[in-house]
Each structure stands twice: as C-alpha cells, then as structure tokens.
Structure 1
C-alpha cells in the first residue's frame, strides 16, 4: 500500500496560484486543485472547505505579501506612503498578472469581501487626508496607480509598458510636491 501524499496549506495555495496563472480563475476548482496537487478532493477540503475559502486564502496571502512590500510608513506623510505604494505595486506586479487580478474581481462579488475591501480603502484615504498640496498630490498619484491596476485587470496595459507608466506616476508625484499648485 502506497503512502498518502502529504501536502500543506501553503503548498495547496502555490498550486492554486499556478492554476489561476496558467488557466485563469474559472479553472480553479477543488477538483482541479486536488488533481494538480496529487491529493484527493477530501485532502483539499481538509484545508479549504470551498472554492471561496481557497480564493479568500489566496487574497489574504497576496495582501500579506503586498503589505510586507509596503512596510509601515507613518500616516502623517502621505507622499512617503504613496511612494512606497508605487514601489510595492511595481514589485508585486511581477507576480500578479491579469488572470490573478480577475480572481480578485470575483472575490469582490461577496458582500463581506467588498465591505472589507472598502474598509481597506477608507484606511488608505485616511492616511492620505489633508488639504495641503502634498496630500492632494499623494491622493492623485494613488488614484493613478489604482487606475493602472484596473487597466491591468482588463488587459488594456501590457507588461512592457507597466513599469514606464509607474515611472510616470512617480515622476509626476515628485514634480507636484516640488512645485505645488496654488
């Protein structure tokens, strides 16, 4: 009798990422994950009760990775926050392609996930609050980066121009804080 394959929750998430990256979010099912990981469906369900639980775990994993890249800038410095946000976005986009981003969109179909995402954005805008030119420039740069992310989700941007567009946002942010608009 053969030994039962042992697989960790993290390994299942790695395999799930591979499925999404190669075949898209719709291809991620408990059965597909079990087959790709070489375990039974029950083995997958031991770690994740449903596809939604897998997606949630993937989102949590990506969020933790992004937060680690972002670091902990002080909320009273909106320019530093957005500068780090641009750097974290630049670094994380190598791993997050349009297929992964599409999975994020399906994640938001759940009202609880949407509430959590909205709360996260409210927290970001609280860090970017203020009436001064630096706060305004930081908000505009943040919105530009988020717009680039939406373009990436919709396949409008290609990988070759992504870094250049982030460079443009960053250069514009620095120019705006050097010569504030009155």
Structure 2
C-alpha cells in the first residue's frame, strides 16, 4: 500500500496501476496479485488501512478527552487533521471511487457509526454535526490541495471548533 501511495504522489491517481505498484514495491506483478488480485482489491485495502488508522488514533486520544459535552466530537477534533488521511491515499481513493463508487461503502458505514456516536454524546446533535462537517471540510480541502486558508488560519478555525465542541457559545472574537 505504501508503494501505491508513492505512485499516486509522484504520478497522480490516474497512474495507479498494478504494474506501477509492483515496480514501485520491487515485486513481480504475480507477487502483487497474490495479495491484491485486482486494482479494486488494492484500493479496498487502502480504504481499510485509512479507516483503521483513524480508529486506532481516535482510540489513543479517547482517554485524554475528559467527560463532558460532545465527548465523541471532541475525540474526533483531538486527532490532528494530518494524522487522518494520507493525502496520497485519499486522492487515490477519490479517483478510484469515481470508477467504482462501492469502494466508498466502508467509509459510508463508518461515517454513519460516527454520526450515531456524536448524536449519543451531544445535547445538540445538529450543532455538533456543523462542527464535524466544518472540520472534515477543512480536511477534504487539504487532501484535494485546494484549501484557501493559511495554516495559521486553519489552526485558528480548528481551535474555534474545539471551543464550540467543548460547549462554549459561538463567539466572533
């Protein structure tokens, strides 16, 4: 999977092929096919790896987040945006999902679970969803490389979202 991410980073998602990944990994194509019988299998493994990485990191921060309002949301916000999705893997998954939308099914299922966790730990789920959406949009823009914000602005926005998730009223200071 690391070889696949390197191919995407260097050549773009359109050039993610089993041949390119085998060359990058220093394997024969047959060796690669043993583990990933086709490109969709490789991409599914990349999706699984990404969601597993997010879940592991969130589990690590879970004990650091004290009880209080929006606990699930605050756990999500405690995970740094650059720890969540490797830009290369994210681009490959997005590009591949255009050809095969079912590759996103595990992500859809995981997002539904997270939505339920947020609702269960929030006194105002809609407010919590707004914070979650804003945070994830910042992440998506970063993955796509189109964010209009400077890093300092992103940090300020994330800090404001964290305050809101902690139960503080929206402020415009």
TM-score interval, normalised by the smaller of the two chains: 0.7 to 0.9
More contact order relative to length (CA 8 Å, sep ≥ 6): 2
Residue equivalent to 1:128:
118
Q: CA RMSD in A?
A: 3.0
Give 5+ residue unaligned stretches, structure 1.
1-12
How far the C-alpha of 1:100 sits from its partner, in A, is 3.0
| Aligned partner of 1:87 among 65, 70, 78 | 78
Q: Which aligned pairs between 1:137-176 and structure 2 lie closer than 5 A?
A: 137-157=127-147, 161-162=150-151, 164-175=153-164
Secondary structure of the residue aligned to 1:60 is: helix
Aligned residues: 164
Counterparts of 1:80 and 1:162 in 2: how far apart (Å)?
A: 26
Displaced runs of 4+ in structure 1, greater than 4 A? Answer: none
The structure that has the greater radius of gyration is: 1
Is the 1:56–1:107 Cα contact (8 Å) retained in structure 2? Answer: no
Q: Which aligned pairs between 1:3-152 and structure 2 lie closer than 5 A?
A: 13-71=1-59, 73=62, 79-92=70-83, 96-97=86-87, 99-109=88-98, 110-129=100-119, 132-133=123-124, 135-152=125-142
Counterparts of 1:34 and 1:180 in 2: how far apart (Å)?
A: 51
Give 5+ residue unaligned stretches, structure 2.
none
TM-score (norm 2): 0.76
TM-score (norm 1): 0.73
Is the 1:86–1:166 Cα contact (8 Å) retained in structure 2? Answer: no
Counterparts in 2 of 1:80 and 1:164: CA distance versus 1, 3 Å: farther
